[in-house]
């Protein structure tokens, strides 16, 4: 492992509670912990100074890909999972993968609701505590996803993230049918196409006047969000994608260290 991934002196539990420190000081405070990433110190400093943090949902906030769970419940799991992998690895345009997967499963409103009832989406360990720590300090939290709003809104309620802080894809249903049959999806959402996440982050930044914003996620589309995000933190707690690992300012496999940075170094600590 290269020197940019390594630090040494004290243990994780010995982090000092500081305010307004540099990223190198934050990183050094973790002692002999090893870190992965192209610029870990800069990512830690951005996180400590963040006005907002944006999270991908699938394989980041939750432990699975929501569309794959839905497809599996409809008997189309393998076919859809192959398209999902291509999209997450950056081997196809996201809009092509999204359209192809929806064309395969054609989910009705009723089928989605039944899927969520039979297979509740599982939060990744530690994500609820991290989001709570951010919110306690007045750091705004956003969910930016290439998944579907109808599946994300229940998760957002659990995490106390408002509907207006969700940017995701909207499925259209024929509400005149008993089950709300699938009729298409909104192609105007920024996350319905490739390079949608940088557009979403820029939109959030412009609308709210944030100085510092951080993107967290597991996929190639998340890595695209820097810039305009000031730092990209790659998450490998569910799936490690080498293309993402190589591009991440800081690559993590759980949320513990992010939470520690916020709780001990956030500029918004009281």
Residues known to be catalytic: 56, 58
C-alpha distance from residue 257 to each of 27, 76, 122, 129 (Å) = 10, 37, 21, 12
8 Å CB contact between 166 and 56: no
Long-range contacts of 173-180 (CB under 8 A, 24+ apart): 173/108, 173/109, 175/109, 177/108, 178/110, 179/108, 179/109, 179/110, 179/111, 180/108, 180/109, 180/110
8 Å CB contact between 26 and 41: yes
Whole-angstrom Cα distance, residue 215 to residue 142? 9
Rg (CA), the chain: 19
Torsion sign (Cα): 185, 190, 196, 201: negative
8 Å CB contact between 132 and 107: no
8 Å CB contact between 228 and 198: yes
The interaxial angle of helices 40-48 and 256-265, nearest 10 deg, is 50
8 Å CB contact between 206 and 183: no
Whole-angstrom Cα distance, residue 182 to residue 236? 33
Closest of 89, 130, 132 to residue 241, by C-alpha: 89
């Amino acid at each position: 492992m290269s020197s940019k991934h390594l630090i040494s002196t004290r243990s994780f539990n010995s982090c000092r509670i500081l305010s307004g420190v540099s990223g190198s000081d934050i990183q050094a405070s973790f002692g002999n912990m090893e870190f992965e990433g192209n610029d870990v110190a800069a990512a830690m400093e951005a996180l400590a100074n963040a006005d907002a943090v944006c999270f991908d949902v699938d394989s980041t906030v939750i432990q699975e890909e929501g569309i794959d769970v839905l497809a599996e419940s409809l008997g189309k799991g393998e076919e859809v999972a192959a398209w999902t992998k291509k999209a997450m690895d950056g081997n196809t345009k996201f809009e092509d993968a999204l359209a192809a997967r929806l064309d395969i499963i054609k989910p009705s409103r009723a089928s989605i609701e039944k899927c969520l009832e039979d297979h509740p989406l599982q939060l990744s360990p530690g994500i609820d505590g991290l989001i709570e720590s951010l919110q306690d300090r007045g750091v705004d939290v956003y969910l930016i996803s290439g998944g579907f709003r109808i599946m994300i809104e229940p998760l957002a309620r659990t995490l106390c993230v408002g509907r207006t802080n969700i940017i995701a894809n909207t499925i259209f249903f024929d509400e005149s049918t008993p089950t709300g049959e699938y009729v298409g999806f909104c192609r105007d959402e920024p996350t319905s196409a490739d390079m949608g996440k940088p557009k979403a982050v820029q939109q959030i930044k412009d609308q709210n006047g944030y100085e510092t914003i951080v993107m967290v996620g597991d996929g190639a589309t998340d890595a695209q969000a820097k810039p305009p995000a000031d730092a990209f933190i790659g998450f490998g707690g569910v799936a490690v994608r080498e293309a993402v690992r190589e591009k991440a300012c800081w690559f993590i496999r759980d949320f513990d260290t992010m939470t520690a940075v916020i709780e001990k170094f956030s500029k918004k600590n009281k």
